[in-house]
Structure 1
């Protein structure tokens, strides 16, 4: 019997629930918390040497062998959570749906458009092991900004190393190159206590062959304080069964506000580990593959399978974005 795996934040959500780290259920209907005073974002800068090392590190073989971050964390928490299926075990990829299928709980994106090139896999080293997430290129002043999940740039007190973004990743191939992070950033709340409501990260990638990222792959718009309960599309590169990390997968449906513990968006979706950090869009046009990004794949609850949750893009995330786009 195939066991369902949710995004990496299942570990974060369960752990926070046990320690009281999530907002109380009675506060779930409150408006998103306003930006607190203090720093707009936490940031880590990679030296030129570190960037060069990251670019050389990620061979096609290493990219194919990278483990979704949540599976690595599941191994650490094996005493309290179900163990994942062995990495590399046979998988069955969900059948390809009709492009306009809506709602869609999860299947390969068979359309074209901008989302094919703005979305990509994120690769990095976590505690000496190769790991993966998803990211998305957004419009920015520096033309070099990628938005992802907070745990995809920093986790357990350490910034990830060898961080690269591979737009339009295709089974070990990088058709638009590997873009190394010159700087990675996250929200102050994620930096301080790994608050699941603010599990958002960003990267400013270095130019490649004299060109900036979005001049090569394009960019998606981004929206803040856009509200809840809207039709949304979510994208990612899930690499845990039943997926294998080789295809861009999407979910689509009417989103709602998390009715359990957080202030986040929720969407029916069966994407698995590796999809963390993938973009959520409102106003998405299937014909052009464009929309306004309003969240990222963040976490799921172990007791609520086939649902994905993503943080609300409010003032805190806008401050993070503003710092990244001008870096």
Structure 2
């Protein structure tokens, strides 16, 4: 496991929440245009040619073949999980039976609703490996903004390439299409030193078939400076054992503030690699699958299993969001 430089080796690596295979990246891409480091968010712009290559690069086989990167470093016992109800473009998202009783330490989301289509799996190329995270579509001026973790757009000094968002992903299928990033962004603190307190990323995705993202899949609200100790729901597509990346998983419970090394939210949750960047909601309504996004899955402590941590959405997160939604 990689360890974060600012916490004396105690943090579980954010990299362990990534998923990756050994598929070699294909296709050429133009050098990124990157803003200067400073107090403003930093961004990478993908050329039209790179966006085209990303669409053709991510086949169903490559998406299904993504393997949790931390599986290359450690082995965990596998468990089997029942598949949740799937949703396609012509399927309504009315709720079915209510999920398990609150709190939930981790299990398939069976409640339906908007979260099924606003959340999705994120795929990209990371240092020659195919990799994945989770993202979520939020309300925005450009109707094209996805929120994820900072390490899901840039990690170990490198911006990820071939970046796409696949809402309602299910076992290699993209029922609402593959949305290619025209721009990826992160906070200046993550850009400068990968400060875990600011592990927040965003992407602006290009229109698909003449339509913008949130007009197709809907959007969740987003909140900044909302405080701590809230009733929370977290979602993601974990791909490391006991999960396999094929289905939407959720956790729920009463959150708290990290009392150790970060300023982050904390929530009991057993999600694994691949869930990084998945949304945390406050005010979540199980009946319609909507809430206000206030964080993302980010990291865990090696000595504190089955607990997830996510960055506090404060002023810097708001600045990042504003830059993304007006791009």
TM-score by length of 2: 0.85
Cα distance, 1:95 vs structure 2: 8.8
CA contact (8 A) 2:237 2:247 kept: yes
Q: How does 1:57-68 map to 2 (within 5 A)?
A: 57-68=57-68
CA contact (8 A) 1:94 1:242 kept: no
Q: Provide the rounded CA distance (Å) in 1 between the counterparts of 2:43 and 2:79.
A: 37
Equivalent position of 2:164 in the other structure: 164
Equivalent position of 1:277 in the other structure: 277
Cα distance, 1:84 vs structure 2: 2.1
Q: Provide the rounded CA distance (Å) in 2 between the counterparts of 1:266 and 1:21.
A: 13
Q: Provide the rounded CA distance (Å) in 2 between the counterparts of 1:117 and 1:95.
A: 16
Q: Provide the rounded CA distance (Å) in 2 between the counterparts of 1:242 and 1:94.
A: 12
Deviations 1:138-188 (A, max 9, x none): 000000000000000000111001000000001000000000000000000
Q: How does 1:5-154 map to 2 (within 5 A)?
A: 11-13=2-4, 15-18=5-8, 38-68=38-68, 70-71=69-70, 75=72, 83-85=73-75, 91-93=79-81, 99-154=99-154
Cα distance, 1:296 vs structure 2: 0.1
Cα distance, 1:66 vs structure 2: 1.2
Deviations 1:213-245 (A, max 9, x none): 000000000000000001000000000000000
1:275 partner SS: coil
Higher relative contact order (CA 8 A, sep 6+): 1
1:211 partner SS: coil
Q: Provide the rounded CA distance (Å) in 2 between the counterparts of 1:20 and 1:12.
A: 7
Deviations 1:70-96 (A, max 9, x none): 52xx75xxxxxxx3228xx96522798
2:43 partner SS: strand
Equivalent position of 1:266 in the other structure: 266
Equivalent position of 1:296 in the other structure: 296
CA contact (8 A) 1:167 1:177 kept: yes
Q: Provide the rounded CA distance (Å) in 2 between the counterparts of 1:100 and 1:21.
A: 30
Q: Provide the rounded CA distance (Å) in 1 between the counterparts of 2:131 and 2:313.
A: 25
Cα distance, 1:16 vs structure 2: 2.9
Equivalent position of 1:27 in the other structure: none
CA contact (8 A) 1:95 1:107 kept: no
* Unaligned segments of structure 1, at least 5 residues: 1-9, 23-36, 76-82
Call closer, same or farther: CA 1:281–1:194 in 2, change over 3 Å: same
Equivalent position of 1:218 in the other structure: 218
1:166 partner SS: strand
Cα distance, 1:288 vs structure 2: 0.7
1:305 partner SS: strand
Cα distance, 1:39 vs structure 2: 3.3
Equivalent position of 2:209 in the other structure: 209
TM-score by length of 1: 0.85
* Unaligned segments of structure 2, at least 5 residues: 13-36, 85-96
CA contact (8 A) 2:3 2:9 kept: no
Call closer, same or farther: CA 1:103–1:20 in 2, change over 3 Å: closer
Equivalent position of 1:242 in the other structure: 242
Q: Provide the rounded CA distance (Å) in 1 between the counterparts of 2:323 and 2:262.
A: 25
**How many residue pairs were aligned?**
291
Equivalent position of 2:197 in the other structure: 197
